Structure 1
Amino acid sequence: MYHRCLLFLTGVTCIAFAYDDLSKGRVATQSTSYMYMNPDLYKADNAVDRNITTCMRTDLIGVNSPDRTVWWRVDLGGVYNIYSVNILFKNYEGHEIRQQGRFAGFSIYVSTNGTRDNSSLCFKDGPKLPPLNFTTNCITSGRYVDFYNERLHGVTYPDGYAYVVFTELCEVIVQGCQASGVYGDNCTEQCPPNCRDNVCHIQNGTCFGCAQGWMDTTCNTKCTGGWYGQNCKQQCSGHCRDKYVCNHVTGQCVNGCSAGWRGTLCDKVCDNGTYGNNCVHNCSGNCLNGSSCNKQTGYCDMGCKPGYTNALCKKHCPAGYFGYRCEKICSGHCLNDFVCNFIDGTCSEGCQAGYIGKMCNSSCTEGYQGQNCSHLCSPNCKTCKPTDETCICHTGWMGPNCSIGCVGSYGENCRYRCSTHCVNQTCNRFHGICQFGCENGYHGQKCEQEYPSTSCLSSGFIGASVSACVFIATAVVIFIIRRKRLFFSGKPSISNKESPYADIENQPGGASTYQELTVPENNKDYENLALQ
């Protein structure tokens, strides 16, 4: 603290300062400077040099000037507790009233950011003319102190106001506490720790405003109930993880964001394609119709696109299933037992033998078989199986593809054996008729009928037997002739009753299938028998 004597034009006046001089030697600026010979003669700094003989001066404002407003500012270099502002206006001997009229109507603003508005207004002069040595209490805090005046067109000012104004400030003394965060008559009391800008009322120590996150006159109460920031007027996002309340100062969520939210304040929704706490998880990308997953859970609320399953749509359909909701079953006919595509059911490697189509779900058309149904069925097949090229054969054929004719057998797939009484056990492979005739003692198409005994040599009935033998021989000859005719015709008998001579095939070279009847030379009793 100090005392300082100021030399006014009217004499020497000693003023006792109870507070520090905050404006001395600080940087000052002004709207305009009156230019007369020396440009530094009326500069803004003259008002803070503590020399009352040097004053600042601006260009005139008012009726004869394009300028209607004037200002001067001092930057204190920091935010301080302020008690009062003292202004010494230029006085000319014999012109005190004129100077008061020029001084009249001024305003003083104190701010932390240089604004001039109602919130920073410290003093506004009224209709009475002010003293040229003016002091007002301005109990506030700030960094910038502004002097402002105006003479506007169309405004009627109080009596004594000058309409042409030169502003001349010789000294501006801002009084307060030089040290930061103190108050009281001697600037020795500490301001509450949470006062905004670490300044408080210079007399009673209450805060002009609180630091972020605090409230009440002394700023010793934290913001509560989900509020934070300057004067606790900002509301938390409500999206902190595990329902924690945000930080009362910054509004940040210390433990991170709840599912679906991001940002330092957890006030931003997850971008499309992300979900979960702090949006750190990526959606599967398999939601139906390209929709985004749920930003909280990651679930595809509209379902999965074909080929995917579970709530997150991250799993492929189980093996053997495909499509939407994995409800469709693969054909099961993919080549080499590969599993079909889980999305559309196609068989990428091709189809098993006997099947065609992208999904291998169509059988070969009738008459085709094998890989890609590219093989024709054998003409000897009654029906062919397309998957393994096997057949059910027409009569007379056998083998996997019915390419082998029956040997010693006949019928479908040669399943019937030729009669054991066929000569060489050989029969027609289509219908089983003995191809080379019957063995001795048998007759019929398939040599299944046995002849009765033909012995005629009984010693007691020789005479009667001769006639009987002649009759039997004649009948046998007729039977042989008719049988040969039927056999060479290639047609079975059309009789309703089965002919015993039908379908006998010719021997190669026209040879008969029957033995020639002869009479032994040593038995002359039966030679040259003829029908009478």
Structure 2
Amino acid sequence: MARLISVMLVLMCQIGLSMQACAECACCKGSFTCGSNKNCRDGCIDGYFGAKCTEECLQNCKTCGNGYKCTECIPGYFTDKCTTPCGKGCLNNTCSHYSGECTCKSTNFIEGRCDACSSTMYGDECNNTCPRNCGACISDTECIWCKDTAYYGSYCQYRCSVGCVDEICNKGTGYCIKGCKSGFNGYKCDMCFSGLYGPYCDLNCTENCIECFSATNCTKCKSGFYGDICANACPASCDKTCSFSTGQHCNLTEKYRVCEKDTGRCLHGCNLVTKYGDFCEKQCSNTCYNKSCDLKTGQCLEGCEMNFYGLFCNNSCSTSCLSHTGNRTCDGIKGHCLFGCKDGFHGKRCDNICSTLCVNTTCNHTTAECLYGCIDGFKGPKCAKAIIPDQEAFYTRSTLIGSTIGTFLAGGIVVGIASLIAFIAWRRRNTQTKQIDVHGYESTITPNGNRSNDDAHESDSPVTYEDLKSRDERLYSQITTRQQISPQASN
């Protein structure tokens, strides 16, 4: 029994089920390696340390010299506490104990830690190809950024407008990052300025034409003109402009005017793109691109100057956004950083500081999960949970020991019940019932119901008075004898 218990203790130590640390000599490496002083001669099995191999290493440690630092991690982890997983692309899930660098499974992973896919691949094994205009992606419908910043859309399916400077635009909105080329306007620089037309907005509409598709197809005339090419003059007494096609529907009572008679409110907008308001008395924001804005609301029409965002371009991009030479650091609408965050920051605008519980205060700029593990005493993806020493291990081992003891007790109960049932069956087979018949003879009733007589007599002969009297005398004699014997037996 003692030998069985010793073997069980060794096995439980080796698989991490001990309630506390290993018992003396139980976790020594090799056979018969425990000296008379209970010290292990050849060292400890994996996961334990100390002269007697009674102390347990940190979780994920394969070997250690103390309870605070690992000398070797189990496969799949690195750092001196073995708390950081190896990259998903590491061959055989093995990486350098100190740096986490490894040999990649394939060229589809980025060399080094092999923890990310190369720019044109995605998936758990980085074996799926991104859409053709993606610079990097996470699925076939979601690109992280577009090639040459020349496309936009969720999977870079749209080409930036030829009206964008350098033909580059924001991936999400198509907004031109560097503004519009000469002759173009609009949020995406996909429209021509008044009086210009053509694929490059470099051709002039006819003299009195404000907007046109070609030299022979005007869509809007200057005040006082009408016709396909705006060559016809409206009657001199028109209040505003006349019908575009016929020159009719004119007010013949007043001369042409540009502001409201009673209030002075401008009827047709401002004559300068840098002004807005009912009376054209307000100045567009200096951070609006080309300082142009909506004549009623003041919202910037052509986007913002470099590194400003918002409808009125009155917000600055965060200084925590990463920058690329010559490019905006954030989009012009919501201020989301275009190229990620500087170390120590996270969030769409990179305006949140990484937890000080992260090693080097460095975290993923999207998820805020610590990149290099936690400082001592904390754990979890964001290092938000404090570690209580040995408590978790104690409860885990206690549960497993309780389960093992419970199994042995349950087995003993089952064996006991089975033995009791067998004993009762045996007793029943060997039990006989004795009766005295009408002749005064003892007979035995066997379990199968048959009768056997102790004294041979004829049970089939007629019963007479003398038979009954003789029977009663025998019964009386037997009862008297038993009563005399009973007191003696009790003494």
Give the TM bin, normalised by the shorter chain: under 0.3
Larger Rg: 1
Query: What is the TM-score normalised by the length of structure 2?
Result: 0.25
Greater helix proportion: 2
Q: Say which structure is richer in strand.
A: 1
